[in-house]
Amino acid sequence: MANPVAEVTGLTKRFGDRTVLDGLDLTVGRGEFVALLGRSGSGKSTLLRVLAGLDDDVEGRADVTGTVSVAFQQPRLLPWRKVWRNVVLGLRQDGVAKSRNRALADKALAEVHLAEHADDWPLTLSGGEAQRVSLARALVREPDLLLLDEPFGALDALTRISVHGLVQDLWRRHGPGVLLVTHDVDEALRLADRVLVLDGGRIVAGHRPRGADHDDLRRRVLADLGVTEDAVA
């Protein structure tokens, strides 16, 4: 692939005797939206942690070009810092001058439609609002690669749909490569250019949902995951 933002080759991760990632290969292109599905315990979060630079005790390669941001399932906001100060937490390590923090935070919060909450305390926010702050915190760094670890998992169905729309909009405008870990097949098919299935420590299937028949692809992805539709219905 030309110009990848993440290139993983032969990545192996062991916890003691247990091999969680087993010679995994994966590429995320610049501006590409990739969703990663896999059963519980298949190693999705482990892969994200390696790509985020949080775990380098691995064999093989996981190369990322440029800045990486991560948003987790829980927003992980610091309750003793106002919303806007949470947004700029990562900027110090990027060498951004402190004097620019407030303006950058305000711009990022406006993008997630939370401009008026900049001076609020995190504990006064709803779950969906807190998740949007965590997205603003990821985007304010203008990442080349955005890692999303089930960031919509804890949201109610309606909020989830509106945050989906927001993420797609932000992705189109900012164009980072995205790697989204999710358990939700429909979410993956709706959002991603490419849907990958992780099993046995490797990527075992890949699909391109754009323009494809959703129901047919859904069946195939569920089969890749070893699930029959009867079990889901």
Ligand X SMILES: Nc1ncnc2c1ncn2[C@@H]1O[C@H](COP(=O)(O)OP(=O)(O)OP(=O)(O)O)[C@@H](O)[C@H]1O
Give the interface with ligand X as residue ranges (CB under 6 A): 15, 20, 38, 40-46
Measured from the CB atom, the residue of 17 and 216 that comes closer to ligand X is 17
Measured from the CB atom, the residue of 165 and 200 that comes closer to ligand X is 200
Measured from the CB atom, the residue of 112 and 185 that comes closer to ligand X is 185
Q: Positive or negative CA dihedral for 50, 224, 200, 23?
A: negative
User: Closest approach of Cβ 70 to ligand X, in Å?
Assistant: 13
Measured from the CB atom, the residue of 40 and 99 that comes closer to ligand X is 40
User: Closest approach of Cβ 181 to ligand X, in Å?
Assistant: 7
User: Closest approach of Cβ 77 to ligand X, in Å?
Assistant: 21
CA gap 56, 49 in Å, rounded:
9
CA gap 172, 168 in Å, rounded:
6
CA gap 190, 209 in Å, rounded:
8
User: Closest approach of Cβ 42 to ligand X, in Å?
Assistant: 4
Looking only at Cα atoms, what is the longest distance across the chain? 57
The pairs formed by 111-118 with CB atoms below 8 angstroms and a separation of 24 or more are: 111/136, 111/139, 111/170, 112/136, 112/139, 112/166, 112/170, 113/166, 114/83, 117/83, 118/82, 118/83, 118/84
User: Closest approach of Cβ 147 to ligand X, in Å?
Assistant: 12
Q: Which residues of 41-80 are buried (b: 16+ CB within 10 A; e: fewer)?
A: ebbbbbbbbbbbeeeeebebebebeebbbbbbbebebeee
Measured from the CB atom, the residue of 153 and 175 that comes closer to ligand X is 153
Measured from the CB atom, the residue of 105 and 185 that comes closer to ligand X is 185
User: Closest approach of Cβ 2 to ligand X, in Å?
Assistant: 29
